[in-house]
Structure 1
Amino acid sequence: MYDDVVAINETHASASENSLSIDGLLKPLKLPFGRDMYDHLLSQLEQSIPWQQDSFVSFDRRFTIPRMQAWFADDGLQYRYADNLMHTQPWLPELLQLRQIINNATQCEFNAVLATLYRHGNDHVTWHSDDERELGYAPVIASLSLGATRCFQFRHKENDTKGEISLHHGDLIVMEPAFQHYWEHQVPPQPDVLEPRINLTFRRVYSEATY
């Protein structure tokens, strides 16, 4: 499933059947689901999540982000993304169940999830690290893909190492603590992709009192 990794510098990026090893680990996990369950989740979440298209200001101009998003978190937790304070939605039952399963699989205590809908291949997200202060110093993030296969690219912040993997329907990858410190990542445009993809990134968010 993860045998299609492309890496410029194999000293820093390599893949095997069970793991992808780069500085600040990025690794796959398998959930105990069949394809029918992933199909159900894709259909259910696409319809039930209150998607919205956010915007941001850069150089005194407002831009609309090329994707849809929704933010779910425990009571009292806030999250700022691209200088926007996300509106917190109450947990959907499907997301709560997924959170518990992923918490067990990763031995983490995630308390929030950013849901992203890429409606087609023109929807994308540019180079970034998930290093907002609400996530703490070295966050672990679990990323579940549903729907269309999309390319996930990563590049090292201090050298020319870069690589990519194709994320398929039902793939779960875990960005380990040092990943956000050493690496940036993106989901680039792929105009030939016509089907939607939902990405669920489970995170642990800290309240302002713990910054």
Structure 2
Amino acid sequence: MSRLNKECLPPGFEYLPACLSFEKSLALYAHLASTLVWQQPDITLFGRTTPIPRLQCFVADKSVSYGYSGTQLENTPWPPVLSAMRTRLMRQFGQDFNALLVNWYRDGQDSMGWHSDDEAELGACPTIFSLSLGATRHFKIRHKQSQEILTLPLPTGSGLLMTGRSQQDYQHALPKQARVTQGRINLTFRTVG
């Protein structure tokens, strides 16, 4: 896996352009889309409860408990292909990844709003590795103080490593893109304490 620091990326964000080949990334997308147990829980924002605008699956060790925005996620055991990937990533990054949040954006209408992965269970400076499969989507990063926004296209097979103060100083989002008709699956490996 080659590493490339894009000059424009803020501290704590590292872009890895070729984590998986084009063919392998699309094959993994198809495999996960058809085999994972997908959920679409409700979320309450500004007093309004609606289903989240994407599907998700939370893969984790049995002992792990994790939730966000008042929603507790149900654990799914590690499928062999994701367990093997986790082992490789733990060696590569020196992290004890014990959880994986998988989001399936079925097309450009599915999205994720501005947020930071700053839940107490992740610790003060979490390391999160994100792998993109399927359609290229625009990942946005916004500084919490200056509100400056960076747009980073994430094609299939690419990775993004978030470390240090990335969650304290920045928010990120995956906005709607009406012209995107294909799906994207995003894997975010993390350590839940």
TM range (shorter): over 0.9
Q: After superposition, what is the alpha-carbon deviation per residue over 1:130-163, rounded to whole angstroms, capped at 9, x for unaligned?
A: 0011111110100000000000001100113221
* 1:98–1:145 Cα change, 3 Å: same
What amino acid is aligned across from residue 6 of structure 2 in structure 1?
L
Measured against aligned partners, the alpha-carbon deviations of 1:14-34 in whole angstroms (never above 9, x if no partner) come to xxx920354431002356643
**Alpha-carbon distance in 1 for matches of 2:51, 2:71:** 12
2:186 to 191, 194, 199: 199
The residue aligned with 1:18 is 4
Q: How far did residue 98 of structure 1 move?
A: 1.2
- Counterpart secondary structure, 2:185: strand
Distance 1:33 1:64, change over 3 A: closer
How far 1:71 moved relative to its partner?
Answer: 0.3
CA distance in 1, matches of 2:148, 2:46: 30
Q: How many aligned positions are there?
A: 190
Q: TM-score, normalised by structure 2?
A: 0.93
Q: Deviations over 1:58-112 (max 9, x none)?
A: 3443121100001011121100121100001111111101111222222222110
Amino acid at match of 1:19: N
Structure 1 residue runs of 5 or longer lacking an equivalent are 1-16, 207-211
Judge conservation of contact 1:157–1:184 (CA < 8 Å) in 2.
yes
- The alpha-carbon distance between structure 1 residues 24 and 32, as it changes in their structure 2 partners (threshold 3 A), is closer
Match of 2:111 in 1: 124
Q: 1:99 to 1:31 in 2, by over 3 A?
A: farther
1:187 aligns to 2:185 (yes or no): no
Q: Pick the aligned partner of 2:24 from 20, 37, 58.
A: 37
Of 149, 153, 159, the match for 1:172: 159
Q: Which residue of 2 aligns with 1:9?
A: none
Find the counterpart in structure 2 of residue 55 from structure 1. 42
Which of these two proteins has the greater Rg computed from alpha carbons? 1
Cα deviation, 1:28-64, whole Å, max 9, x if unaligned, reads 2356643222122111111111011111223443121
* Identity level (%): 36
SS in 1 for 2:109: coil
What is the CA RMSD across the aligned residues, in angstroms? 1.6
Q: Of 88, 107, 132, which residue of structure 2 is paired with 1:101?
A: 88
Q: How big is each residue's C-alpha offset from its partner over 1:175-210, in whole Å with a ceiling of 9 and x where there is no partner?
A: 11210000000000001100010000000001xxxx
Quick one: distance in 2 between partners of 1:150 and 1:108? 27
Name the CA distance, whole Å, in 1 between partners of 2:164 and 2:21.
Answer: 29
Cα distance in 2 for residues equivalent to 1:23 and 1:149: 21
> Partner residue of 1:88?
75
The 1:185–1:24 alpha-carbon spacing in structure 2 relative to 1, beyond 3 Å, is same
Does the CA-based 8 Å contact 1:20-1:26 persist in structure 2?
A: no
Q: Quick one: distance in 2 between partners of 1:193 and 1:118?
A: 10
Q: Taking structure 1 as the reference length, what is the TM-score of the superposition? A: 0.85
Unmatched tracts of structure 2, length 5 or more: none
Partner of 2:146, secondary structure, is coil
The whole-number CA distance in structure 1 between the counterparts of 2:19 and 2:109 is: 31
